Amino acid sequence: MELLACFSPVLWDLLQREKSVWALQILVQAYLHMPPENLQQLVLSAEREAAQGFLTLMLQGKLQVPPSEEQALGRLTALLLQRYPRLTSQLFIDLSPLIPFLAVSDLMRFPPSLLVNDSVQQGYRGSGENSLEEDKGLRPITPRSLAAIRDYSPGMRPEQKEALAKRLLAPELFGEVPAWPQELLWAVLPLLPHLPLESFLQLSPHQIQALEDSWPAAGLGPGHARHVLRSLVNQSVQDGEEQVRRLGPLACFLSPEELQSLVPLSDPMGPVERGLLECAANGTLSPEGRVAYELLGVLRSSGGAVLSPRELQVWAPLFPQLGLRFLQELSEPQLRAMLPALREAVGFGPIPTQAVLLLGRLLPRHDLLQLDSLALLANRRHYRELPWSEQQAQFLWKKMQVPTNLTLRNLQALGTLAGGMSCEFLQQINSMVDFLEVVHMIYQLPTRVRGSLRACIWAELQRRMAMPEPEWTTLGPELNGLDSKLLLDLPIQLMDRLSNESIMLVVELVQRAPEQLLALTPLHQAALAERALQNLAPKETPLSGEVLETLGPLVGFLGIESTRQIPLQILLSHLSQLQGFCLGETFATELGWLLLQESVLGKPELWSQDEVEQAGRLVFTLSTEAISLIPREALGPETLERLLEKQQSWEQKPVPNCADVRGTFPAAWSATQIAEMELSDFEDCLTLFAGDPGLGPEELRAAMGKAKQLWGPPRRFRPEQILQLGRLLIGLGDRELQELILVDWGVLSTLGQIDGWSSTQLRVVVSSFLRQSGRHVSHLDFIHLTALGYTLCGLRPEELQHISSWEFSQAALFLGTLHLQCSEEQLEVLAHLLVLPGGFGPISNWGPEIFTEIGTIAAGIPDLALSALLQGQIQGLTPLAISVIPPPKFAVVFSPTQLSSLTSAQAVAVTPEQMAFLSPEQRRAVAWAQHEGKESPEQQGRSTAWGLQDWSRPSWSLVLTISFLGHLL
């Protein structure tokens, strides 16, 4: 590194004279691997001519870099750009091959005027000033900068295109949008889908029609696409099928009514139908929406038997929506063709009813859940790549008895098993360089770094850097030298001490991989957002559009004071960007208020469809009262369905059909409306009803009443029908539950995975199973214990005592992931089973991996045993386990010292009810752990974003039947 810094001007000069591409490649690779601060110091200290010459060589050499180094290449390019005294149009054009590698903040350094320069002849003008002569294969005159953007736009990220698109709106460049000539529209076509929606809506029908052939491949979002369709679709002409064909992917955004008028769906393998299925496959078309329902009607009416197995696979995106009756009509080859698609649809979620039915028909009946662990471990080549759970990795690490002198190469060879590394192993690494290399390796593993290991890493780093507590003074270069993935996970109290360059590395990482931001705690997200903002803008000054674009997904976690620094016009122009972000509670609440300001979208009672389109999903940051004021004509069926994929029409019918339910969701309808549905409609939508956690007791009973009309009394329900009913079974009465046949393992596991049974129902289910199977509690094996799931709490404490401790210890891995509705006495019995012979032995001997393994069952550990836990053991408790410990018990067993040792994820899981029972000292310890040692906002007198707001669940009313399920952003 020192040699590179000393001899870089000489090396650059040699490269310029020798024109050696391979030498340039080697040198660039070396620079890309330098720590950011060293690279910055090197480039800024180099001769200006040398830096500019090196940049020229980079462009001429056509460098090839792997994706993992593209971010570093963009950073190097940005540093080299700083050596230019003035950014010119020619420089922008010359740099165009490197534009895809530049950060948004670097792109925004180019003044808008650079987009207007000498034009290149890509064709010639037609007789009219605005004509494109597209039919003659000609292209208009295009500014050279825009031509460069167009050429390299395929490699750009969406946020880069958004930043460049906003530059087009500077009025001094091209004027107002309605006045843009057609040659300009064609030149900036790759950027048009990324214009703010309020600007895109200004395009006239004439402007849109002139680009008719270009829109299908432009990659438009829902709001943009609907605006284009309003100008392109003519429902009064006879060539409907040809219109849909020309629309291509834009047809994904047609409503069922528009499709019906243009080309009624009828052929399961027709070109229009296949095109819509492609929309469902790529996620543009919701499989639970109204258009998908029309497609399913085509398949049902024609009968699946007419399709070959290969043809049936085309319908894979809609497989989870098919009813059991349809599946039962298929042949075995057809079912086998469906299995891969179902496996992909299931992902990491619960197995759908269809998959259970298929497995029952295609696989032999034997215990598939019993795995030969010895055989698994013997396959060493395979197990190094398996996604081991936290406790499995820790257990196997102990079993391997890893020597303390293991080299980094040998550690890397362990693969995902290295994630089970103990804190003691980390602490014995002497060299700081070796320590950081091991930490880097851990963070590069595909599995998540467990909370206790993360806490150990940062505590050990603090110790090694000899940083006094609680006063943080200076940080050594080691901290700023960490890569961006580690910096993103940096404890809150260290963020303020990071260099600006390191913080910008984290911002760039979040821009490129926003899902990594979502893995942080809400407090961590808020602290990171405020620290990044501190680096980009002085406190209490208005935030520019450039700042918002640089922050990217971090915007959604700004606190109240920072959010109020966003000028309203800037906010309006960034609504499209905000719709793609996850929003914290504080920001979402404040945004909902800001949207109603006169200079943004104004009073909700004056909104038109355009305002609803502009707000998009952000409409649900509004209060329920504000939503209820939106005029009915602004909320047509297709508008609401696009907003949430599963919303209903304002023009609600007294009795919904299945299309209405798919256009919304089951919980949007009252028990009376559900009870009055046609049986055929209810059957078509049964899967949606069974999977909606928002249905209340009355609605569940109404839905179950429809099921009984469909299939008869519960005692006649077949196993596959019970599987399909899912949560609706809660709507059965106690006597009806007793009549269900529960001896089938699949049926029992379905009931065991349902959360929401009453205590009486829990008792009925487990008692019925024991009676029908003829089993005693002592004979339940781990498969049956796992299948019982939530219903295990239906056994009395004296009955739970008879469970085999060995079998229960095997089932604890699954049962511990559930928020069991057991009494405190029941949980204590279950926890006691784990210390008996056959279980895990005395609690004092448990490692953190056992606490992680047993999950919520740890809430039943006796008070004395919990109060005696060491820091490592406490950090093994899962956040869910922390949250289910009864509040009085929580306050009694954990001292302030123990509470301060919680990981941030554990501390955030402490519930308000638990906090209410704590002493002031205990509360301070929890707050200290939540903020990872940094002073809490309450102590600072500042506000912050405390979490992901559940603003997806406002109250539901008959006036406005909009209810939200789960987190929408």
pLDDT (tens digit per residue) in 796-844: 999 999 999 998 988 888 899 899 999 999 999 999 999 998 889 999 9
Residue 564 has pLDDT above 70, yes or no: yes
Dist CA 491 CA 487 (whole Å): 9
84-98, 535-549, 836-850, 911-925: range with highest mean pLDDT: 911-925
Domain positions in the chain are 7-118+141-213, 265-362, 366-467, 476-600, 653-691+699-741
Residue pair 559/942 in contact (Cβ under 8 Å)? The answer is: yes
Residue pair 917/890 in contact (Cβ under 8 Å)? The answer is: yes
Dihedral sign (CA 17, 18, 24, 30): negative
Dihedral through CA 905, CA 908, CA 914, CA 920, nearest 10?
110
Residue pair 141/125 in contact (Cβ under 8 Å)? The answer is: yes
Can the peptide bond before residue 470 be classed as cis, meaning omega within 30 degrees of 0? yes
- What are 493-518's pLDDT values in tens digits? 778 777 787 888 888 888 877 877 87
**Section 452-476 average pLDDT:** 64
Q: How high is the mean pLDDT of the chain?
A: 79
**Burial of residue 584 (number of CB atoms within 10 Å: 0-12, 13-18, 19+):** buried
- Nearest-5° Cα angle at 519, 518 to 522: 70
Dist CA 812 CA 804 (whole Å): 12
Dihedral through CA 165, CA 166, CA 169, CA 173, nearest 10?
-70
Three-state helix/strand/coil letters over 321-359: HCCHHHHHCCCHHHHHHHHHHHHHHHCCCCCCHHHHHHH
Inter-axis angle of helices 70-81 and 21-32, nearest 10: 100
Dist CA 763 CA 771 (whole Å): 12
- What are 862-876's pLDDT values in tens digits? 999 999 999 999 999
Residue 154: pLDDT band (50, 70, 90) is confident
Dist CA 408 CA 421 (whole Å): 13
Residue pair 353/720 in contact (Cβ under 8 Å)? The answer is: yes
Dist CA 198 CA 614 (whole Å): 6
3-state secondary structure of 141: strand
Dihedral sign (CA 247, 251, 256, 260): positive
CA 590 vs CA 490, 552, 585: distances in Å = 28, 18, 9
Residue 647: pLDDT band (50, 70, 90) is very low
pLDDT at 223: 85
Residue 610: pLDDT band (50, 70, 90) is confident
Residue 550 has pLDDT above 70, yes or no: yes
pLDDT at 63: 57
* Residue type at position 136: K
> Whose CA is closest to 674, among 754, 650, 293, 692?
692
CA 929 vs CA 81, 491, 586, 767: distances in Å = 43, 10, 21, 44
If one compares 575 and 359, the residue with the highest pLDDT of the two is 575
Residue 650 has pLDDT above 70, yes or no: no
Residue 646 has pLDDT above 50, yes or no: no
Instruction: Indicate the range of 366-375, 568-577, 843-852 predicted with least confidence.
Output: 366-375
pLDDT at 828: 95
Residue 366 has pLDDT above 60, yes or no: no
Terminal CA-to-CA distance of the chain, rounded, Å? 44
- The residue to which tokens 């320590």 are assigned: 435
Residue 239: pLDDT band (50, 70, 90) is confident
- The residue to which tokens 């949007």 are assigned: 668
Residue 395 has pLDDT above 50, yes or no: yes
Residue 889 has pLDDT above 90, yes or no: yes
Question: What DSSP state is assigned to residue 74?
Answer: H
Three-state helix/strand/coil letters over 122-146: CCCCCCCCCCCCHHHCCCCEEEHHH
Residue 23 has pLDDT above 60, yes or no: yes
Question: Which residues are CB-neighbours of 493 under 8 A, at least 6 positions away?
Answer: 472, 931, 932, 933, 934
**Section 226-238 average pLDDT:** 82
Residue 131: pLDDT band (50, 70, 90) is very low
Instruction: Indicate the range of 22-36, 421-435, 770-784, 789-803 predicted with least confidence.
Output: 22-36
**Burial of residue 45 (number of CB atoms within 10 Å: 0-12, 13-18, 19+):** exposed
3-state secondary structure of 364: coil
3-state secondary structure of 119: strand
- What are 895-952's pLDDT values in tens digits? 999 999 999 889 999 999 999 999 999 999 999 998 877 655 444 433 333 333 333 3
3-class SS shares of the chain: helix, strand, coil, % to 5: 65, 0, 35
Residue 758 has pLDDT above 80, yes or no: yes
Q: What values do phi and psi take at 566, rounded to 5?
A: -85, 115
**Burial of residue 808 (number of CB atoms within 10 Å: 0-12, 13-18, 19+):** buried
Inter-axis angle of helices 240-247 and 222-232, nearest 10: 140
